[in-house]
Structure formats: structure tokens, C-alpha cells
Structure 1
């Protein structure tokens, strides 16, 4: 059972009966086209929104391409895609013009169209209205860590998923000096530390929204059509669901990482993390730096393959994206955050601008030379059908008997 300690500290866990894994199971990855469609186009949407924020933050009427190109690494675009090529795909959002440099050479500049400026102001208003909710998501993330602290670099990887503004370090956390503090880390990086523990926030989504069955909290389970779960796996899953649930907001340092109880705690951590995201998904690479702060064992991401009824791994966009199954009714989010509505509106703007330009409607505008052919990556971003062969031995998803 759980025992609470003084306010401001994480909760300790008394000695659970930690049942070791008794059954070997092997679960396969099955493609889910419906959930793949949830991921398609996400990288373009993220990059487009970030570029709007970057350009809008300047007091000048625009920015030169060399300044925007320097942001390439922050945008998540493919390495072989120039920022200028990306910007020219959406002339209804980014308007190109030319200014002479000191040598008299015309240099491409980009500014926002009136339609894009209107979107930006609408997004800022929604962010302002939802600031408390967004800040609480960040607080809960920090409360899940063992020291209530994360490097800014790690948070930066998750800022899009959490709904944080592009410049959150300078525009948001500075407004809450009673909650956050910037600290120098031993490795020379800057970190964000949470100053106040809130016991009301230290309740996971599963605890708040699920009912116990025979005294155990169970995760909602669903599989891709045609998955075909074997009887042996069904029995293991039923027994695993009955294991004690460990809240991601408690100190789990005394759990044996080789047990089902520990694995259920790891699943609970990522179940909660995905619920903190606006669209209940994140790229697998975004959680690679969370192992130590979240007190996770080596190869902790194996739980994504071992529990395909909870998590779906999409291979869209030449990356792996983890999607929380229960959050979607086919390809529609069951609960949409106001920022998700804004993003959907902007996605439609990008799609319309891409189509109009492909039809030649912007052929006569003042644009620079084309840098590479246009592709349909925003309309249907694919990387082919493949299995998780690049995961290596982890794809076997075996639970070894102890």
C-alpha cells in the first residue's frame, strides 16, 4: 500500500509482493493505418508553427533566410530539406521578398501573410487562456522526476507535445517565479526546477478516471483489427493487469526492475506522460533522456512493444511515434484541447497553400528560384510499410522467466 510523507516530498512505497515474470510471451507489431493517419504530416505542422512563432517574434518586417536556416535543427525537418524550400511550399503563410546585402546582392527574406498573422494572434490568445493548464502539465512532468528537475534541453524536446510556447523559457516560466527556478546543472547545461509540490496534482490520469477491479487498477486495452492475441498471451496480460499499480508520482526506487510490478510502473509512467501531451502522442526519441530522471531501468522503452494494446508505434515520417490508443476513436482525439483545434486550423491552412501553389495559383508572386521539387509530404507523409526490424532484439518482446 502507499504511504504519504510530508508535503513537498515524493511518496514512498512500502514493500510490495513483487511477483516475477513466470511466462514467456512474444507479441508482434501490426500496422494500424488509422492511427498512422494521426501521425502523418505532424512534422510539417510542427515546423510551420515554429517558423510562424519565430518570424512573429521579430520587431522587423521579416527575417532573412540565413537566419531562418540557422534554426533548421530546432524544426525537426529532414536534413536534406532546406528551410527556404519548406517556406516556399506555403505562400499563403510565408511571403517572400528580397533585400540587398552590404555587397548589393539580393537576399531572400520571409514575412508572415495577413492570414498567418491572424492565426498567430489567435494562437497567442488561446495560449494565454490556457496558461494555467499548460503550466500544470509542466509541473506534473517535473513532479514525476526524482529531483523535480529536468534540463531545459529535455523539456525543449517535449514542448510541442506539452503545448508550451516556442520560447517558453523566456516567455512563460519567468511569469511563475514561485513555481520554477532556472538552475545550473553539473554538466554545464541549464535546468528547470520545480519549487513547490502540489499534492492535488500528484494524481495520475488512471487513478482519477479508472475504477478498480478486484482492488487493482487496470489500463484500458485495445488492439489493431486482426491482431490475434494468443491464449497464452491473454492469460499473461490478465495476470499482469492484476499487479499492483504504482503511481508515477511516488518514489519507486525500491522496486525490483525484473518484476511485473516494476514493468507495470513503467507502463504507468508513459501512460501518464502521454496523457500530459495535447495529442496523446510523442516521438520515441523524445523520451530517450528521461531514464534517470524518471528512475527507469535500462531498455525501458521495450514496454512500448510489449504492450501494443496500450501503445501503438507508428512508423510514419521516418521516425517512431508512440500513440496512446485509448485517447483515440479511430483517428479522432476523444478529448481535444483548445490548442489542438488551433493546430488543426493551421494544418488546413498549410494544406490549402500547398495545393494552391501546386496548381500554379502563386506562380506570379515575387518568389525566388525553386530549390528542389515539391513533394506531397504534408498531404501524405509516408515511409512505406515496414516492421520494427530496426529495433533489434527488443522487437521480440520477450518477458524472461525469473
Structure 2
């Protein structure tokens, strides 16, 4: 549902930010690609009557759209939440940048991750208001603009903090930390892999915020560093999940191996791959199997309210479709169509019979 929600939020923002609180369809009809909408934008908006309300505009009888009362209330709550969580969300962005090789990332890469980090989609459009003293815009190679972090603060990963709380980690260099594992029902590893996993758990843990250039890329330590990076990345994401293909653009800037996507498959007790909606989504199991380990972010509460409106819209459209079909079946027009189809069928059978007789097949 979250993947479907993103374009809805984008269109909702366009309407909410308009001074009149409504827009003609002509304002958004040609921007389907921008909103990641695969069908006509008008048809997409009509799929969610609990969020978007359609009415006839003042000129040329064009369709206009505004937000429903429920959507307006959630939008107001969402804006207030962003203001209250500004520091927390900015801290997530800092950590995300600090995991990169040069502690700097192109703005276009950050823009693609704003949804996952829980930041509003216009965050980079208002940098003067949203940045603090440790974040600054810099020029990068190939004419790109980037966002850099200047901080001497040493961050601990979620894995390190949880291990310290349990008293099994003392924050010493190259100290081992075991990943929390959550076997799926009905899934059992082969004996050989179980032995390897037990040994892998004892391999030293390199935090994604630490220097890693000295590591042999083919070593178990390097693989554990990649698994640890993915663990921390999904911890930073407010839904603790992401489309796997979206993470591939991070390889260059985070020093990840070419086949980093294989890490999700090699560690099925840490990550779950969902194939719903024809999309491969990587999910951090710990966030859902041990709710005490990772705190639930308030942004999720707002997104769930929008998702409830999506489900309500689906019920409404299904009901209207059934109602329309029932009315059609009870109408005289449907009777005429049925008679016409029946006549055409009889004519087809007669023609086929004649052809078979002529060819001697009967």
C-alpha cells in the first residue's frame, strides 16, 4: 500500500498548496510521469473518492479536484507532525549521508530517498529553512550539487546501541556483534549454511559509520559490513523497507559490491523479500518481529490514515461498479444488447454450419 500511497501524497500536496485549495485537471494531466502515475491522472484521482473530490469548474465545464474534508484534516495533522519531528528527520538524513564514502551525496540521490527517510517531498526546495550548521550544499563532480555533513560526532548504529543495552557489546574496535535473526515458518537452512551462519555471527562488526577502505572486499568482514549497512539503512527508513531496485543507485556512493542485492537473499533470517504488486520490496524483519528493538516512527501513523482512506475508496468504487452493473442488467438497453449478441451468435453458428457442409466435414 505504501508504494501506491506515494503518488497520492504528491498529488495531494499539489492541491493542498494551491491558494484556492483546488486545481483543474489540466494542471496535472500531463504530469503522470512526474507523479509516477501509470494511467491517466484524472482516472487515477477518481479511484480515490475518499481523498479527492471532483467537481465541475467555473469555465469550459472542465473537471476540477479538491481534497475531501477527511484528507484536509490529515494533511493539517501531517504538516504539524513534520514541524514537530523536524530535528529527528534531519538527524536521519545526516546519518544517511554519513554512511557514504565521502560524507556527501548528490541532491538527486537524496531526493529519491526522501520518502523512505520520512522527509516531505519539498524538503530540498527549502534548504535555507531545513538545513542546520552541519549540513551544507557543495559542488560535486560532473556538475552535480550535493549535500555534505560536517560533524565530528561519532554515531552508533542501531545494532550497536541495542547490543550495548543488552550488555553484549563494549564498543571496542573490531568487536563482534551478532545480528538478530528471525527464521520464517517453514524455512530451514541447509546444514552447511547453518554452520557458516554461526561462524559469520562471530565475525567482527564494522559499523556503517566507520572507515572501511582497508577491508578485503572478498572477506567475511566486508560481507558483514554490507549486511550491517543494509540493516542500518532500513532502520533509518521510517517503514523499515524499500523497493530493492531503488537501492541499486546507492552502490557508487556507499562502496557497495556490484551484487549487493544478493545480500538480501543470503541473509533470509534478517531480511524478507516481498513480491506484492509486482515489486520486489526488501523488509527488515527485526522491525516487525521485535517491536522493542526499533521504535515506530510517528510518520507511519499519518501514512496509515491515508491508507485507510485508500481502502475506503476501494470499497466505494467496488460498490459503485456493482451498482452500475446491476442497473445496466435491469435496464431495457441491456436486454436489447443481449438480443443483438444472441442474434449475432446464431448467425455465426449458421455460417459455420454451411462452411462445414461445403468442405464435407459434416
TM range (shorter): 0.7 to 0.9
CA–CA separation in structure 2 for the residues paired with 1:294 and 1:181: 19
CA–CA separation in structure 1 for the residues paired with 2:242 and 2:72: 28
Matched, 1:125 2:85: no
Q: Of the candidates 10, 33, 38, which is equivalent to residue 73 of structure 1?
A: 33
Alignment-derived partner of residue 341 in structure 2: none
Query: Which structure: greater helix fraction?
Result: 2
Alignment-derived partner of residue 55 in structure 1: 15
The answer for unaligned runs of 5 or more in structure 1 is 1-40, 365-402
Cα pair distance change 1:261/1:318, threshold 3 Å: same
Alignment-derived partner of residue 114 in structure 1: 69
SS in 2 for 1:96: strand
Q: Of the candidates 273, 279, 297, which is equivalent to residue 257 of structure 2?
A: 297
Q: Which fold has the larger relative contact order, with Cα–Cα distance below 8 Å and residues 6 or more apart in sequence?
A: 1
CA–CA separation in structure 1 for the residues paired with 2:252 and 2:231: 18
Aligned residues of 1:165 and 1:172 also touching (Cα < 8 A): no
Alignment-derived partner of residue 351 in structure 2: none
Q: Of the candidates 288, 292, 296, which is equivalent to residue 328 of structure 1?
A: 288
SS in 1 for 2:63: strand
Aligned residues of 2:93 and 2:117 also touching (Cα < 8 A): yes
Alignment-derived partner of residue 187 in structure 1: 142
Once the two structures are superposed, the pairs formed by residues 257-336 of structure 1 within 5 Å of their partners are: 257-329=217-289, 335-336=295-296
The answer for unaligned runs of 5 or more in structure 2 is 325-362
Q: Of the candidates 67, 83, 87, which is equivalent to residue 45 of structure 2?
A: 87
TM-score of the aligned structures, taking structure 1 as reference length: 0.73
Cα pair distance change 1:134/1:334, threshold 3 Å: closer
Pair member with larger Rg: 2
Once the two structures are superposed, the pairs formed by residues 116-195 of structure 1 within 5 Å of their partners are: 116-171=71-126, 174-195=129-150
Aligned residues of 2:7 and 2:36 also touching (Cα < 8 A): yes
CA–CA separation in structure 2 for the residues paired with 1:69 and 1:193: 36
Aligned residues of 2:106 and 2:147 also touching (Cα < 8 A): yes
TM-score of the aligned structures, taking structure 2 as reference length: 0.80
Query: Can you list the C-alpha shifts for 1:34-67, whole angstroms capped at 9, x where unaligned?
Result: xxxxxxx222222222221222122233223243
Alignment-derived partner of residue 227 in structure 1: 187
Q: Of the candidates 130, 153, 159, which is equivalent to residue 198 of structure 1?
A: 153
When the two chains are superposed, the root-mean-square deviation of aligned CA atoms in Å is 2.5
Aligned residues of 1:53 and 1:166 also touching (Cα < 8 A): no
Aligned residues of 2:89 and 2:118 also touching (Cα < 8 A): yes
Q: Which moved more, 1:324-333 or 1:273-282?
A: 324-333
Aligned residues of 1:143 and 1:197 also touching (Cα < 8 A): no
Aligned residues of 1:93 and 1:350 also touching (Cα < 8 A): yes
CA–CA separation in structure 2 for the residues paired with 1:305 and 1:287: 15
